[in-house]
Amino acid sequence: MRGRRCPRMRRNVERRSAGFAIMAGPGAEGGAAEAEAAPPPIQGLQLVQQGAEARLYRGQFLGRPTVMKLRFPKRYRHPLLDERLSRRRTAQEARSLLRCRRAGISAPVVYFVDYVSNCIYLEDIVGSTTVRDFIISVQQSGKDASCLILLAEKIGEILARMHDEDLVHGDLTTSNMLLQPPPEKLELVLIDFGLSFISALPEDKGVDLYVLEKAFLSTHPNTEALFEVLLKKYSVASKKSAPVIKKLDEVRLRGRKRSMVG
């Protein structure tokens, strides 16, 4: 049993080292040393975010508003290994976005994938708001928060559909979910599939939900009831929810034991 988990554990470690949110606020801290004076790949693109694994540019591509994600070389890796990892992650992100759209899940359109420079050109969801900012705005306004319950149900339903397609996001946070304008319509778009992978294992899907739970509750305090609404909708909407929720409970227990040990 322990032997079977080793490949997945290595894969999880690799994914955690690569975190990068496509449309979430100002530049991240990681990878700054490799971003010095980096020119845009094509004219007219502007750097809007720097992550540990990639740079994010915004501009026009073939006359369309575009977000371009570029995975830059890592000097600490062997060049052949770095090229292989970057190409694989770029390809998997494109496949995951296409898989979402085929399943009826809103995700950015893939315009073009360049495997030479390891960059991907995506639809820019113009005027969108992150779910993170929307929840914070509603909480701070003091207005009726019933829309947040509807939003939680919408998220649960979409994640159920995604997991039923055996697609694991790998970095679920409220910053990696967008609301198309106007945000009150709650038209959700999933973004940043750079850490995604295909898996039918309930444990991988349970870990996906656990990552979201930890991010959700740390970013939005006192929203435990809201997240339970999300999980309840997920359980109803997913055809494979029972083993996933069971694994989520097991992952939670492991997390609590780890916290107690320190």
Burial of 20 (C-beta count, 10 Å sphere; 0-12/13-18/19+): buried
Residue 62 gets which letter from DSSP?
A: T
Give the model's pLDDT for residue 254.
86
- How much of the chain, in percent, has pLDDT values that exceed 90? 71
Position 33 scores a pLDDT of 44
Residue 238 has a pLDDT of 97
pLDDT in tens, 22-80: 444 433 334 444 445 467 777 889 999 888 889 999 999 999 999 999 998 888 889 99
User: What confidence score (pLDDT) does residue 256 get?
Assistant: 63
> What single letter denotes the amino acid at residue 102?
R
Active site residue 114: no
Give the per-residue pLDDT at 227.
97
Helix axes of 241-261 and 224-237: crossing angle, nearest 10 degrees: 150
Hey, what are 18's tokens?
A: 């690569």
Active-site hit among 114, 144, 166, 171: 171
Q: Give the model's confidence band at 182: pLDDT under 50 very low, under 70 low, under 90 confident, else very high.
A: very high
What mean pLDDT is predicted for residues 179-207?
A: 96
Confidence of residue 9 (pLDDT cuts 50, 70, 90): very low
Q: If you average pLDDT over every residue of the chain, what do you get?
A: 86
Query: pLDDT (tens digit, 9 = 90+) per residue, 197-253?
Result: 999 999 999 999 999 999 999 999 999 999 999 999 999 999 999 999 999 999 999
- CA gap 204, 210 in Å, rounded: 10
More confident residue, 144 or 194: 194
Longest Cα separation, the chain: 55
Q: Is the pTM of this model over 0.75?
A: yes
* pLDDT above 80: residue 153: yes
Quick one: pLDDT at residue 257? Answer: 52
**What is the per-residue pLDDT for 169?**
97
Report pLDDT for 178: 98
Question: Can you list the alpha helix ranges (DSSP code H) found in the chain?
Answer: 2-16, 79-102, 131-141, 146-164, 202-219, 224-237, 241-261
* Averaged pLDDT for residues 86-95: 94
Percent of the residues in the chain that have a pLDDT greater than 70, as a whole number: 82
Closest listed residue to residue 183, CA positions, set 228, 134, 225:
134
